[in-house]
């Protein structure tokens, strides 16, 4: 079977075989290959067969990225992928995730592991953590702990 001869459902299943997708992501990928009605019909049948699930996608997405990113960034990326706000918040509250502060410490330690020597370095480290989606209160706490460690060692 030639690649262009595949049906819409076969394309969708092939995408899902590679990784979980949100309904909106899959619809966007299929948009060049069928009408909106055809795509909706295929997506509905995949959801009915439990092959497509925004909840499963969101859970997998959060698990795979939580080590490297804060809740702000995860929230933004899930929304961009068409996941409903209620589902986003539900997945970010999962109990088996390390706390936001613990994740920020790990990310900071992996990137810097050196306490900021001055205000310029402090701002650089804060911007890095902010870009990773950590909130300002978490950033201040992580960098304050780093300062306290430096002061305690000297």
CATH code of the domain occupying 53-97: 1.10.10
What is the rounded average pLDDT for all residues in the chain?
Answer: 90
Q: What span, in angstroms and rounded, lies between the C-alpha atoms of 150 and 13? A: 53
Residue ranges per structural domain of the chain: 1-52, 53-97, 100-153
pLDDT for 94 equals: 77
Query: Coil, strand, or helix at residue 125?
Result: helix
Confidence of residue 151 (pLDDT cuts 50, 70, 90): low
Rounded mean pLDDT of 47-75?
Answer: 95
Cα distances from 67 to residues 43, 49, 95, 113, in angstroms, run: 31, 31, 14, 16
Rounded mean pLDDT of 60-67?
Answer: 94
Rounded mean pLDDT of 106-118?
Answer: 92
Rounded mean pLDDT of 115-144?
Answer: 94
Confidence of residue 6 (pLDDT cuts 50, 70, 90): confident
CATH of 100-153, one of 1.10.3470, 1.10.150, 2.60.120, 1.10.10: 1.10.10
Confidence of residue 28 (pLDDT cuts 50, 70, 90): very high
Contact of 94 with 58, CB cutoff 8 Å: no
pLDDT for 152 equals: 54
Rounded mean pLDDT of 79-99?
Answer: 89
| Of the listed ranges 11-20, 51-60, 69-78, 113-122, the one predicted with least confidence | 113-122
CATH fold for domain 1-52: Arc Repressor Mutant, subunit A (1.10.10)
């Amino acid at each position: 079977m030639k690649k262009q001869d595949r049906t819409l459902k076969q394309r969708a299943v092939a995408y899902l075989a590679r990784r979980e997708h949100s309904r909106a992501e899959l619809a966007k990928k299929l948009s060049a290959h069928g009408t909106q009605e055809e795509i909706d019909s295929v997506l509905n049948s995949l959801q009915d067969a439990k092959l497509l699930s925004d909840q499963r996608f969101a859970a997998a997405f959060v698990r795979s990225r939580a080590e490297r990113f804060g809740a702000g960034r995860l929230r933004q990326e899930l929304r961009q992928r068409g996941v409903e706000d209620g589902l986003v918040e539900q997945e970010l509250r999962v109990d088996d995730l390390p706390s936001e502060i613990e994740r920020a410490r790990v990310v900071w330690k992996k990137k810097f592991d050196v306490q900021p020597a001055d205000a310029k370095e402090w701002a650089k480290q804060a911007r890095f953590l902010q870009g990773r989606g950590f909130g300002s209160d978490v950033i201040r706490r992580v960098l304050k702990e780093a300062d306290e460690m430096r002061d305690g060692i000297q």
